[in-house]
Amino acid sequence: MRRVNAIPLVDLTAQYATIKDEIDRAVQEVLGRCNFILGSQVQEFEQSFARFAGVEHAIAVSNGLDALRLSLMAVDVGPGDEVIVPANTYIATALAVSSVGARPVFVDCDASTYNIDVGLIEAAINGHVHAIIPVHLTGQSADMDPMLEIAERHGLYVVEDAAQAHGTLYKGRPCGSMGVMGCFSFYPGKNLGACGDAGMVTTNDSDMAERLRRLRNYGQSFKYEHVGKGLNARMDTLQAAILRTKLRHLKRWNEARAAHAEKYRELLSGVGDVVFQQRAPYSSHIYHLFIIETDQRDALRKYLEMAGIQTGIHYPKPIHLQEAYADTGYRIGDFPCAERLAGRILSLPMFPELSIEQIHYVVDEVRTFFNNAHPHGV
């Protein structure tokens, strides 16, 4: 039964309600023209997104995982190669590496920002490492300058996973514009979300852009001329038309999220043992996620669920401990920061349409939980 007060982690219906007419018109236009594959709206969205991300080229693809995968293919990462990825990220970052036959080498995160600990990267570099994939997790940029310097010194490609950072600025530079490629996801729950799966690769390198356009479309240079072994990984025209419409609102939506985060921080500071993710001085924050830490995470989560408040854990089990990566031989204790976070973090409801009443309700319930909590939880 849906409670009157139920607050979802992300409310996609609330967003659709505010832009229904625009979205419906964009969809109708595609249906009317039936230009479903690489229609003109794809190119139009690529151009607007390139401008938004401050890059020369944007290549629209099928999803975020494929954006990463195609980027690794474009820089010739393959079997026998290794790629550095953060231990604390969504599994797609590592799967992209595995999908081209390469091996992910994990690096632990920084306890305060949750992003890759740049100080640990150099120790992970060996003769097989060809690339680094920094992830701008939760909407805050990884510390790029020292990382780019290390990559330069070792001759490594940097492919940014910007799936949670559409519009985040690192010292004024947009995420997705600093590495050789930037990879975005438009999974429905992302800050810019499609009505299904979609993704984007951004780059300032025209040669890479050319390769990526071929790779996403069967390795084709012209119809039936296949100059390489590509994939079918194009973005649907329908999704491009929808995303192009939604992109016009993204700046405002990101600002709304940041304002909600400030409110949460203000109202939750000093409540129980709540710890916040630290704001990095070099990055803006678009709050794809609003995460708190507490020793009583599981009990708090259960309590909020009873109060009709949906929460999330991003992510409950680090990749190196997933069965899928048992073959890499990592063990508990290898990445203590990622492992500790997995047991402590809780994502609170966060979406642009969140109302101040909803924020107050969440905060009041968190407060009540800690006021009544037993030392070992409920």
Ligand X SMILES: *Cc1c(COP(=O)(O)O)cnc(C)c1O
Q: Which residues bind ligand X (CB under 6 A)?
A: 63-65, 89-90, 92-93, 135, 161, 163-164, 185, 187, 197, 199
Q: Name the residue nearer to ligand X (CB basis): 277 or 358.
A: 277
Q: Name the residue nearer to ligand X (CB basis): 52 or 315.
A: 315
Q: Name the residue nearer to ligand X (CB basis): 260 or 314.
A: 314
Task: Provide, rounded to whole angstroms, the least separation between the CB of residue 98 and ligand X.
Answer: 13
Residue in 334, 347, 343, 345 with CA at minimum distance from that of residue 87? 334
User: Which two structure tokens, joined as six digits, stand for 222?
Assistant: 């012209």
The three-point CA angle 160-82-68 to 5° equals: 30
Q: Name the residue nearer to ligand X (CB basis): 53 or 268.
A: 53
Cα separation, 89 vs 83, whole angstroms: 14
Length of the chain in terms of residues written: 378
Cα separation, 235 vs 30, whole angstroms: 13
E strand segments, 31-127: 57-61, 82-86, 103-107
Cα separation, 373 vs 44, whole angstroms: 54
For the sheet containing 57-61, what is the strand order?
A: 57-61, 199-203, 181-185, 157-161, 129-132, 82-86, 103-107
Task: Provide, rounded to whole angstroms, the least separation between the CB of residue 96 and ligand X.
Answer: 8
Cα separation, 114 vs 137, whole angstroms: 7
Q: Name the residue nearer to ligand X (CB basis): 15 or 138.
A: 138
Task: Provide, rounded to whole angstroms, the least separation between the CB of residue 361 and ligand X.
Answer: 27
Q: Name the residue nearer to ligand X (CB basis): 158 or 359.
A: 158
Q: Name the residue nearer to ligand X (CB basis): 176 or 303.
A: 176
Task: Provide, rounded to whole angstroms, the least separation between the CB of residue 198 and ligand X.
Answer: 7
Task: Provide, rounded to whole angstroms, the least separation between the CB of residue 288 and ligand X.
Answer: 7
Cα separation, 47 vs 77, whole angstroms: 27
Q: Which residue is nearest to ligand X (CB)?
A: 64
Task: Provide, rounded to whole angstroms, the least separation between the CB of residue 269 and ligand X.
Answer: 27
φ, ψ of residue 46 to 5 degrees: the values are -60, -45
Task: Provide, rounded to whole angstroms, the least separation between the CB of residue 135 and ligand X.
Answer: 5
